Structure 1
Amino acid sequence: MARAGQASADELLAALARAGAAPEAEDLRAPETGLVMVRGRIGGDGRPFNAGEATVTRAAVRLPGGETGFAYHLGRDRARARLAAILDAHWQRPEARPALEAALAEIAGHRAEAAQRAARKAAATRVTFFTLARGED
């Protein structure tokens, strides 16, 4: 479901269409947006502290067959959270899982390509500084 968490609403809709899964579902909990406290630890393992708040949208749906799906997303995109919950509900059906996995793998491939392009672009502008050895060392 991490792949669904990174996908946009358009990508999720396309994934459902490629998998032949209908995007219709009953809302158990309509998509709603709220705040969660983000906590951190000093040095990664020190005392916890409140770093700040983050906006989160959640949704819960039920398919006509009775399968339920849930999703939480950072941000305020309600359509994206609802589509991710629908995808999660279809994931509960064993016959739909291989098609959904293939569609999500395609999304992951596109995301990896975009990350590589961004890394290449950043590497092209990288500046490396050299320090000459001085006699006092």
Structure 2
Amino acid sequence: MMQSETAGPAGPTGTEANEARAAWLRVLATAPTDALDAAYTRLGQAGALPAWRLLRKPESGMAMVRARAGGTGAQFNLGEITVTRCAVVLEDGDAAGTAGVAYIQGRSARHAEQAAVLDALLQRPAWHQRVQEIVLAPLASAHAERAAQQAATAAQTRVEFFTMVRGED
């Protein structure tokens, strides 16, 4: 059975919606905990957040990280990282029962819970634009700046090799 790719009253569905959700979950998961705290606080000041309950309380565990030699070779187990996951459900409003999930690297239960609540809010049309402007846009911008700064730092150590042709006749 194929998923519909038409836009309904709640917005796009299917592949486009999955890609959008994956993008915002990535931003929420990679945000520094203090930056997410500040953004979450600003969102709360902009209006009362709906009530939610925990479906799965924040819990930490391990996940195996796999890699490929040279990016294209055979896969191998690189090592384990600590991951915290959380799931919440919003309890009030038109779309009661909207579930949000989060998986973050590290042991911050607060970060995982806030990211799960924001995921649920982003799925609601009434909250989507507000969360996008107050939380996601600044976090994504800060992430891009950090990535550019890291790339610039790494570029300083780049060595370019070249071969000079010897005059062999």
Matches within 5 A, 1:1-80: 1-19=25-43, 20=46, 22=49, 25-42=52-69, 44=71, 47-65=74-92, 66-80=97-111
* TM-score with structure 1 setting the length: 0.78
Question: How far, CA to CA, are the matches of 1:51 and 1:107 in structure 2?
Answer: 29
Structure 1 segments unaligned to the other structure (5+ residues): none
- Give CA-to-partner distance per residue, 1:30-55, whole Å, 9 cap, x none: 11111122233455555543332221
User: Would you identify which runs of 4 or more consecutive aligned residues in structure 1 move more than 6 Å?
Assistant: none
Q: What is the Cα deviation at residue 70 of structure 1?
A: 0.7
Q: Contact 2:50–2:91 at 8 Å: present in 1 too? A: no
Matches within 5 A, 1:73-92: 73-92=104-123
| Counterpart code for 2:88 | V
Aligned residue pairs, count: 137
- Higher mean Cα deviation, 48-57 or 25-34? 48-57
**Alpha-carbon distance change, 48 to 15 in structure 1, aligned in 2, over 3 angstroms:** same
Matches within 5 A, 1:110-129: 110-128=142-160
| Counterpart code for 1:98 | Q
Question: How far, CA to CA, are the matches of 2:108 and 2:146 in structure 1?
Answer: 21
Question: How far, CA to CA, are the matches of 2:70 and 2:145 in structure 1?
Answer: 32
Question: How far, CA to CA, are the matches of 2:154 and 2:73 in structure 1?
Answer: 32
RMSD, aligned α-carbons = 2.8
* TM-score with structure 2 setting the length: 0.65
Q: What is the Cα deviation at residue 101 of structure 1?
A: 1.2
Q: What is the SS of the residue equivalent to 2:137?
A: helix
Question: How far, CA to CA, are the matches of 1:51 and 1:117 in structure 2?
Answer: 26
**Alpha-carbon distance change, 36 to 116 in structure 1, aligned in 2, over 3 angstroms:** closer
Q: What is the SS of the residue equivalent to 2:131?
A: helix
